[in-house]
Structure formats: structure tokens, C-alpha cells
Amino acid sequence: MGKRNTTWDSKKIEQWIKEGRGQGEGKEYKPWLTIQDFPSMGRVTRVFGWTTQRIHHFFSDTQLKYFYLLDWEEKVIDIREHYPLIDLEVVLNDTTDLKIDKFEDKKTKEPYIITTTFLITLLDSDGKKSFAARSIKYASELSRRSTIEKLEIERRYWEAQGINWGIVTNKDINTVRAKNIEWIHSVMGFGSDNSFSEDELADLLYALLYRFIDSQKSIKNIISGFERDYTLDAGMGLFLFKRLIAEKRISLDMDRPININQTCKSIYIPEVNGKEVNEGVKVFG
């Protein structure tokens, strides 16, 4: 395998722009940074997004957890990670006091392209779009001068465009909620289950859903009984249960750990009870 080229210069910027990085929306968006760009970044993740129907790239657990919160929210219609501020000096007429020259390659003296962790598109009940930009950091990073200076550049950039910007740290994230979403997240990915046709899967989901109505049994017992009655492979019942949650055909308190040993009293079924559960957007602070 050839050695990864880590040189940062004008040619690489031109190349990345030509590749479409930092451009597009939804499924067509390409993040400015990917996990393949760096030889070692510790814990990194690639995950398929429900909202965008594409692969996302993350460089920390905090970024990943915040992504799960975004991907769960129905009002979020696009999530663009590692969004580049390519037009920084155009948007900000005066950057003399921002110390942008500190963020450059030591060898080539080429300025790095500053990025914001997330640019989020929201759609309200009236069909109106709005945007929010969020910089994800560990709380311990906020005492570093270089971090503070970079965040100030981001703040001014988004303020100049009238876009809501904020900092989110690991202390701000609802970890229980993020873990619950992570637990069910894989069931909505492409090719998550090829054992059944779409019609067969729909029938199984419907059949399992109605087993929870007015039942006094535990969730686990219902799942086990369903697998036995339908001669399903072990684990398929749990997959279907997760799928029902992911499709929001079953509502649980996502701010408490999901426990399948609980009885069905912890479950709310919107399509049976006749109304939706509106939790509201909880992730923007």
C-alpha cells in the first residue's frame, strides 16, 4: 500500500474541491474531511445516515453521539458534517484580528480550510427551512487557546450569515438517548436484513406490533414467543422490535435506557392509540 500523502498545499485544495468535497446536499454531499485523510486519528467511525441515505465520517465518540441525536429528529432534513468555510475571507471582510495565519501548514505555509463539525438543515411544520451550525468539542478542549481562536473564527463566520451557531461538548449530550438510538440505528441501514421481501417484512412488523397491545407480558417474552410461533431465526424478533422503534411505530421514553425485560406498559403505539407523540427537537441547546 502506498504512503498516504499528507502534504497540505494549494494543489490539494484544488483537488479536493474538484472531488466535490464540501459541496452538495443530502445524499450528494461530500464532507470536507474523511477518515481516510489522516494516518491515525484514534477512534474513528463511518456510519450510514437515515436522514441523508449516505455514509458519514466522524473522528470522535462525541461527534458520533451528537449525530445519532440529529438523525433521530424528524425536523432535521439534512446533516452535513465537517462543513468547510472555504469562503471565509469573503464572508468576513476584516479578519486581521482573528489570527487565521496560525492555522496553516508549517512546511508549505498554506492555510488550512477551517471546518464546522455540523451544518444542520431543519424544516418546521409550515415547511420553512432554517439552518444551525454546531461545533463539537470535548469540554477539556475549551481551555486551549488554539481551540478558542478557531471557535471565534467559526462564530463570526456563521453570525455574518445569520445562521445560529453554538458549541456542544460531551457534557451537553444526552448519553442515554444517544445510546438508545445507537442500539436501533443499524436496522435502518441499506441491506440491514435480506431474509425477507418488503411485503413479508411489513407483515411481520405488523404482526409483532399488535402482540404488544394490552399485553401484560415482558417485551422479551413477547419477542421470544413471536420467534417461536413464526419459526424465525433467533434474534429476528429483536431486529423487528428495533425496526418498529426506528420507524416510530412504537414510542418509548428515549431518555431512559431501553430495557426489554420491562412489561409492555412502557410502550406507546401511535397508530393504535390514534395520535403521534411529539417530543420536540431536543438537541440544539
- pLDDT, tens digit (0-9, with 9 covering 90-100), for 115-133: 999 999 999 989 999 999 9
Query: Of 111, 139, 173, which residue constitutes the final position of a domain?
Result: 173
Question: Rounded mean pLDDT of 266-273?
Answer: 82
- Average pLDDT for residues 248-277, to the nearest whole number? 86
Instruction: Examine residue 108 and state whether it is found in any structural domain, yes or no.
Output: yes
One domain for residues 61 and 149: yes
CATH number of the domain that residue 124 is part of: 3.40.1350.10
Question: Which of 120, 140, 173 represents a domain boundary (last residue)?
Answer: 173
Domain check: are 116 and 219 in the same one? no
* Greater model confidence, 194 or 43: 43
Q: Establish if 109 belongs to a structural domain.
A: yes
- What's the pLDDT score for residue 274? 61
User: How much is the pLDDT for 1?
Assistant: 40
Whether residue 143 is contained in a domain is answered as: yes
169 plus 224 within the same structural domain: no
162 and 201, same domain (yes or no): no
For range 268-280, the mean pLDDT: 67
Measured in degrees and rounded to the nearest 5, phi and psi for residue 237 equal: -65, -40
| CATH code: domain of residue 257 | 1.10.10.10
- Residue 167 and residue 251 share a domain: no
> Is residue 283 one of the residues assigned to a domain?
no
Same domain, 200 and 168: no
The reply to whether 75 and 163 lie within a common domain is yes
Residue 285: inside a domain: no
- Output b/e per residue, 199-215; b: 16+ Cβ within 10 A: eeeeebbeebbebbeee
pLDDT digit string, tens, across residues 49-82: 999 999 999 999 999 999 999 999 999 999 999 9
Is 182 within a domain?
no
Evaluate whether residue 181 is within a structural domain. Answer: no
Rounded to the nearest 5 degrees, what angle is found at the Cα of 226, between the Cα atoms of 230 and 257? 145
- In terms of domains, do 168 and 211 share one? no
- Full domain range(s) for residue 164: 10-173
> Is the confidence at residue 99, as pLDDT, over 90?
no
Indicate if 24 and 164 belong to the same structural domain: yes
| Domain presence at residue 96 | yes
Residues 162 and 265 in one domain: no
Instruction: Please report the pLDDT score of residue 3 as a whole number.
Output: 47
Percentage of residues of the chain with pLDDT beyond 70? 90
**pLDDT for 2:** 44
**What's the mean pLDDT when you consider all of the chain?**
90
Of residues 131 and 197, the one with the higher pLDDT is: 131
22 and 161 housed in the same domain: yes
Looking at residue 98, what is its pLDDT?
83
**DSSP per-residue letters across the chain:** -PPP----SHHHHHHHHHTTTT---GGG---S--GGGSS--SS-EEEE-TTTSSEEEESSHHHHHHHHHHHH-TTEEEEEEEEE-TTHHHH-S--TTTTGGGSB-TTT-PBPPPEEEEEEEEE-TTS-EEEEEEEEE-GGGGG-HHHHHHHHHHHHHHHHTT-EEEEEETTTS-HHHHHHHHHHHGGGSTTS--SS-HHHHHHHHHHHHHHSTT--SBHHHHHHHHHHHTTPPTTHHHHHHHHHHHTTSSB--TTS---TTSBGGG-B-HHHHTS-------S--
Q: Is the pLDDT of residue 179 over 50?
A: yes
What is the rounded average pLDDT of the residues 211-228?
A: 95
pLDDT over 90 percentage in the chain: 72
Residues 240 and 160 in one domain: no
What is the pTM for the complete model shown?
0.91
